[in-house]
Amino acid sequence: MLMRALHDEGVELIFGYPGGAALHIYDAIFRQDKIDHILVRHEQGATHAADGYARATGKPGVVLVTSGPGATNAITGIATAFMDSIPMVVISGQVASHLIGTDAFQETDMIGISRPVVKHSYTVFDAQDIPKIIKEAFYVATSGRPGPVVIDIPKDMTAPDKLYDYEYPEKANIRSYNPPIEPEQNQIERAVAAIISANKPVIYAGGGAIASNAFKELFELNEILDAPITNTLMGLGIYPATHKRFLGMLGMHGTYQANMAMHNADLIIAIGARFDDRITNNPSKFSPDAKIIHLDVDHSSVSKIIEADIAVFGQVKNSLEAIIKTLKNNLDDYDSERLKPWHSQIAEWRSSHGLNYELYKDESDNNSILPQAVVQHVYNITKGEAYVTSDVGQHQMFAAQYYHFDKPRKWINSGGLGTMGFGLPAAMGVKFAFPNEEVVCITGEGSIQMCIQELSTCFQYNLPIKIININNEALGMVKQWQDMNYGGRHSESTYQNSLPDFIKLAESYGHVGIKIEKNSELKESLEKAFSMKDKLVFVDVYVDPSEHVYPMLVANDSLENMWLSKDKKT
């Protein structure tokens, strides 16, 4: 009944790992051929893979795990999806009903443990309810502000010897749940009036705009507004990065021009973004002169950290459509020419302290390989069209800064929770969704070792992902903070020559490994890796271990105060 309901819901793929309490379900999987099950090597990998699948496709990821350790191993992945509002349904086996509360073998209170990191959760108390619960779970996971939903199923609820009438509900009807969809017109009119009178507007778009599939609407809006636009780490790709009005990412490691524009703006149009601490730095010093228009589907995200002057609740896609419509009716009042001084100010910022795109021109072997240059080469070789997953740390920031995403859902990373180990399994999820597309995992030697067992899954299912291991032989971001704030005391951020031989490791999992140590080999070896279309290639690139990520906001200060290099501050 569970499998039938999942099929009727449109599920094509489940990532999971079997175990005692889930065995009835696994037997049902064996006896059907409509849904594919992917056997991972660790439940965390299953959740990240389903998460990557969901981020790339927009469809909910589905995970199946057993009770106890299966369930607890899934928690990190559920929390990752929760923080980034990713639709996911996690089905966890549970010990049989009569054993619940008796400390039975592999019993854990999954509903209790997962409660703070799920949008909602269900326990199946009556097998007859399974179709209704599945329908509701997918509806909750995908509607409003998306998020993970857990369904805990005691083993006796899936016993094969019991039969029930089956009917899959057409619609989920939850009387207490009503996410906003259409915005209120009076708020739209206030927003348009503010837009018309602004002289220094900035559009600040985040992951919510991607979740709402608002690419077309955002582009259309800015064809009229001609305003500068910045994206959060989660929002990269929602506006073409190669567009002349794109400022780059903002925040902690945002570009100089993006942070300066935000600080000096007289109007910030926040679209599906939540003013988190990596963006605002010190909220009391944040953008002192800006009026804030905030478009969001979640009431609790608005005026949580920065007070919004105009709040527009609704699906941001619909809110943007409404703004475009109202704006078009008032086009005579809108003069994009008046933004000229603002654009020239931004151009000046951009040229004075822009990111250094010319880094890779100095590639003699006298210099160590720069991590930024690795990302630039990958960008050029893949023509900017690859799906790029990343882990967490310096390499993540370099990838976000130097790989320019022109389309949404191509940049897959753990923004909110910052989960090391996310990149490889997420790349698997993307590759299952788009087997003919190039999928690159930009990672570091720290992160990759947190879920490296999934190399085995990649071999079993023949997933020719390209792994670019930016190897600085240290936990780079930790080390950078220790350099900057702790007098260079590198407490537990290096491995004392204990790193494995990644090439042999990749080979033992059945893949190809390529080691790059010299600048003169960089381009050619990367090209070689990408030319092996049907192989997973693990590229281990040794980069300058002393390199830091810049710009970097000065702690607890405003957005105009940044470190631009090790010894230069704004």
Partner 1 sequence: MIKRKLIMIMENKPGALVRVVGLFHQRGYNIETLHVDPVTDFSRYKFIEEKLETKFKENEISRLTITTFVSDSLMRQILRQLNKLIDVIAVSNEETTYLKGVLLDENLL
Which residue numbers are catalytic?
Answer: 43, 105-106, 155, 477
Minimum gap (Å) between residue 140 Cβ and partner 1: 6
Closest CB to partner 1 among 110 and 378? 110
Task: Report residue 464 as tokens.
Answer: 């020719």
Q: How many CA atoms lie within 13 A of 190 on its CB side?
A: 15
Contact 240, 220 (CB under 8 A): no
Closest CB to partner 1 among 303 and 494? 303
In which residue are the tokens 């950290």 written? 305
Closest CB to partner 1 among 127 and 327? 127
Instruction: Report how many residues bind partner 1 under the rule CB under 8 A.
Output: 22
Taken in order 507, 410, 395, 482, the sign of the CA dihedral is negative
Residue 340 in contact with partner 1, rule: CB under 8 A: no
Distance CA 494, CA 479 (A): 8
Closest CB to partner 1 among 105 and 177? 177
In DSSP terms, which residues pair with 89 in a beta bridge? 62, 149
Distance CA 523, CA 381 (A): 9
In DSSP terms, which residues pair with 38 in a beta bridge? 15
- Which of 123, 281, 414, 456 forms a contact with partner 1 (CB under 8 A)? 123
Minimum gap (Å) between residue 125 Cβ and partner 1: 8
Closest CB to partner 1 among 184 and 521? 184
Residue 78 in contact with partner 1, rule: CB under 8 A: no
Closest CB to partner 1 among 287 and 301? 301
- Which of 4, 7, 59, 304 forms a contact with partner 1 (CB under 8 A)? 304
Q: Please give the distance of CA 563 from its chain centroid, rounded to a whole number.
A: 26
Residue 115 in contact with partner 1, rule: CB under 8 A: yes
Instruction: State the virtual CA torsion across 339, 340, 345, 346 in degrees, nearest 10.
Output: 70
Contact 489, 483 (CB under 8 A): no
- Which of 175, 244, 383, 489 forms a contact with partner 1 (CB under 8 A)? 175
Residue 368 in contact with partner 1, rule: CB under 8 A: no
CB under 8 A: which stretch of 118-126, 402-410, 492-500, 511-519 binds partner 1? 118-126
Residue 121 in contact with partner 1, rule: CB under 8 A: yes
Amino acid at site 373:
A
Q: Let me know the angle formed at the C-alpha of 308 by 307 and 314, rounded to the nearest 5 degrees.
A: 135
Residue 498 in contact with partner 1, rule: CB under 8 A: no
Residue 180 in contact with partner 1, rule: CB under 8 A: yes
Residue 120 in contact with partner 1, rule: CB under 8 A: yes
Q: How many CA atoms lie within 13 A of 480 on its CB side?
A: 20
Residue 177 in contact with partner 1, rule: CB under 8 A: yes
- Which of 10, 103, 170, 178 forms a contact with partner 1 (CB under 8 A)? 178
Residue 100 in contact with partner 1, rule: CB under 8 A: no
Q: Among residue numbers 284 through 303, which ones bind partner 1 (CB under 8 A)?
A: 298-300, 303
Contact 547, 394 (CB under 8 A): yes
Beta strands per DSSP E along 17-99: 36-39, 61-65, 88-94
Site string for partner 1, 134-153 (x = CB under 8 A): ------x-------------
- Which alpha helices (DSSP H) does 330-389 contain, by range? 340-353, 371-381
Q: How many CA atoms lie within 13 A of 252 on its CB side?
A: 16
Residue 224 in contact with partner 1, rule: CB under 8 A: no
Contact 154, 95 (CB under 8 A): yes
Residue 487 in contact with partner 1, rule: CB under 8 A: no
Residue 21: name the closest of 89, 90, 101, 108 by CA: 108
Residue 94 in contact with partner 1, rule: CB under 8 A: no
Closest CB to partner 1 among 166 and 177? 177
Q: Where on the chain is the footprint of partner 1 (CB under 8 A)?
A: 111-112, 115-116, 119-121, 123, 125, 140, 174-180, 298-300, 303-304
